[in-house]
Structure 1
Amino acid sequence: MSVKNTKGEDIPLSDYKDKVLLIVNVASRCGYTSQYQDLQMLHERYHDEGLVILGFPSDDFNQELDTIEEVVEFCSVNYGVEFPLFDFIHVKGGDNQHPLYQWLTSHSGRDVKWNFEKFLVSRDGSLKEHFESSTNPQSTEVINQVEQLLLDK
């Protein structure tokens, strides 16, 4: 399976093999948009240990900017985002849902209900947790699980 980066290039998810992934559907005009800052802090703290945050802009909830270029600039200027962002995708269930999110929701048993839901995937590619939008990336719950997965080599 692959995803498109912000330049429209296909990126195989296998590029992230042996990494701990935090996959997040993001939006620039949401009440949770400030979580970009918390995600960036998580990236800075754990990236060298093997955590990769993958941000997927989605306008499924009508809260994203018009173009991917605007999203990239917004994230850079306002939050200093350095973790990978990708092209727009559909995260809600239905015929247009991206295959990555089909996999995530089928394995979590829960649909995506809003922006900034977080899926934690272990180094072996198994889904370990689905955090609701309201769960801050800097919460003890998220950090404890990330740290545990980073220890599992």
Structure 2
Amino acid sequence: MSIYQFDVKKANGESISLSNYKGKTLLIVNTASQCRFTPQFQDLQKLYEKYQPNGLEILGFPCNQFGEQEPGSNEEAVSFCQLNYGVTFPIFAKMDVNGPHAHPLFQYLKQQAPFQGFDETNSMAKLLKLMILDKAPEWLAGDEIKWNFTKFLIDANDRVIRRYEPHETPLDFENDIAELLAPKTL
């Protein structure tokens, strides 16, 4: 299987193949405009501006499965990101990332980068786990996406490198991105 085999929908409903991103390093994020982690858009945009010229593409996929934190239309989700955070990377149509209607892209990503558990030494991770236990305990099972702003890093050779949980901010793993984009010397 390959990430490039999947088609997704743009906010306007037009279908696009992820094969359009062949040879790029990708950061795929499920997003929401009314989430505790929504301010991560600011750091995602900083990374995009810094590394997009070197081959990074960030792809945002709004999701309303977690506390109904993306209640608006696709167009409203895009507009929110642009107006509030200056987002210039693509924000696609809303989609499910868990459950029986989960988009095949996220089913694949979860298989390639399974959930590694919560870091109980991290206070944000502990709070996130308690929140999920209270609001959506069904998401705690297995490799399901735990909440909005779960991020997947894919290298230019189509390998899913790592899954970052919602409490992990984009700047926390900037070095992982920089390393993938660094020219390799012999």
What 5-or-longer segments of structure 1 have no aligned partner? none
Q: Give the drift of 1:152.
A: 5.7
Give the match's secondary structure for 1:138: helix
22-31 or 66-75, which moves further after superposition? 66-75
In structure 1, the partner of 2:22 is 17
Structure 2, gaps ≥5 residues long: 1-5, 116-143
How far 1:144 sits from its partner (Å)?
A: 1.1
Q: How many residue pairs get matched?
A: 150
1:71 is matched with: 77
Q: If each structure's helix is expressed as a fraction of its own residues, which one has the higher value?
A: 2
> Out of 98, 106, 112, which is 2:111 matched to?
106
Paired letter, 1:144: N
Work out whether 1:90 is the aligned partner of 2:96.
yes
In the alignment, the residues of structure 1 paired with residue 175 and residue 112 of structure 2 have an alpha-carbon distance, to the nearest angstrom, of 21
**What percent of counterpart residues are identical?**
46
Q: Does 1:128 align with 2:161?
A: yes
Amino acid at match of 1:29: Q
CA contact (8 A) 2:42 2:85 kept: yes
Q: What residue in structure 2 maps to residue 150 of structure 1?
A: 181
The correspondence of residues 53-68 of structure 1 with structure 2, limited to 5 A, is 53-61=58-66, 62-68=68-74
Which amino acid counterpart does residue 138 of structure 1 have in structure 2? L
User: Which 4+ residue blocks in structure 1 deviate beyond 2 angstroms?
Assistant: none
Structure 1 counterpart SS, 2:82 = helix
**In the alignment, residue 148 of structure 1 is paired with which amino acid?**
E
In the other structure, the counterpart of 2:171 is 138
The structure whose Rg is larger is 2
Describe the superposition over 1:65-115 as per-residue Cα deviations: whole angstroms up to 9, x where unpaired. 3201111111111001000110011011x2201000000001112220000
Match of 1:46 in 2: 51
How far apart are residue 138 of structure 1 and its match? 1.2
**What SS does the corresponding residue of 1:11 show, helix, strand or coil?**
strand
CA positional deviation for 1:2: 0.5
Distance 2:57 2:158 in 1: 13
| CA deviation after TM superposition for structure 1 residue 151, in Å | 2.1
CA distance in 2, matches of 1:80, 1:151: 26
Paired position in structure 1 for 2:40: 35
Partners of 1:132 and 1:30 lie apart in 2 by: 14
Q: Does the Cα contact within 8 Å between 2:62 and 2:93 map onto a contact in 1? A: yes
Once superposed, what is the RMSD of the aligned Cα atoms? Answer: 1.0
